[in-house]
Amino acid sequence: MKLIFLHGLGQDAHSWQGVQDALSPLQSESFAIFSHPSESYQEAKERLTEYLQQESEPFILVGLSLGGVLALDLSSRDLQQLKGLVLSGTQYKLNTNLLYRLQILLFRLIPKHVFEKQGANKQHMLQIFTELKSLNLTDTAKTCPLPSLVICGSKDGANQASSKKLANLLPKGHYLEIADGGHLLNTQKPHELAEAIKEFVGEFKNEEASLKNSSS
């Protein structure tokens, strides 16, 4: 089972390196969500959909924050080889989230150089934040047929309630909390996150083995 990683906003494909190293020798790929600094969320989603439709082997989408939103969003697309989701620190309903709107206002007040020190593009981040303020993936979650692991750090207070609700909405959802973890688990707690993913992948292998035994 191949793992395809989707990073958070302000991160890049290398943000998953620690997790990928900890998961070796499992096959994995970290995808750069945006191809250029002005690409919209919808454009990135269409480009990634086309890319994933070419996958010839089964895969699991693993997304953090924005990457989790994108992974959940993509679960409604025609992706024949998509077999499961791992969603870390993921919001699924932003259209009524007042905290999210306050975050956009605060981001507007933060000087550009603060973003640049973190290797982030303020204009692009604000563009994506604004584009997603009407997001509501409630129906997508309710109808998602895929086994799904929803993960949140115990110190990620802004996303805990949403993550628990999301796990309950997903028909095959399961919630897991990582002790002392914040929002950016892929860089803060790569080994713990990798263990959770490894266990989730192991469940697929056990299910495949059971199916083979029952059919023989």
pLDDT (tens digit per residue) in 43-97: 999 999 999 999 999 999 999 999 999 999 999 999 999 999 999 999 999 988 8
Q: Does 215 have pLDDT greater than 60? A: no
Top pLDDT among 2 and 101 is at: 2
| pLDDT attached to residue 113 | 82
| pLDDT attached to residue 210 | 60
| pLDDT attached to residue 82 | 97
Top pLDDT among 8 and 204 is at: 8
pTM of the model as a whole: 0.91
| pLDDT attached to residue 27 | 94
The residue ranges of every structural domain in the chain are: 2-93+136-215
| pLDDT attached to residue 214 | 60
Q: Does 7 have pLDDT greater than 80? A: yes
| pLDDT attached to residue 135 | 94
Q: How confident is the model at residue 209 (pLDDT cuts 50, 70, 90)?
A: low
Top pLDDT among 18 and 214 is at: 18
Count of Cβ atoms closer than 10 Å to residue 64 Cβ: 29
φ/ψ of 74, rounded to 5, equals -70, -20
Please provide the CATH number assigned to the domain covering 2-93+136-215: 3.40.50.1820
| pLDDT attached to residue 177 | 97
| pLDDT attached to residue 212 | 54
The pLDDT tens digits for 8-50 are 988 999 999 999 999 999 999 999 999 888 899 999 999 999 9
Q: How confident is the model at residue 176 (pLDDT cuts 50, 70, 90)?
A: very high
φ/ψ of 210, rounded to 5, equals -65, -40
The pLDDT tens digits for 108-145 are 888 888 777 777 788 888 888 889 999 999 999 999 99
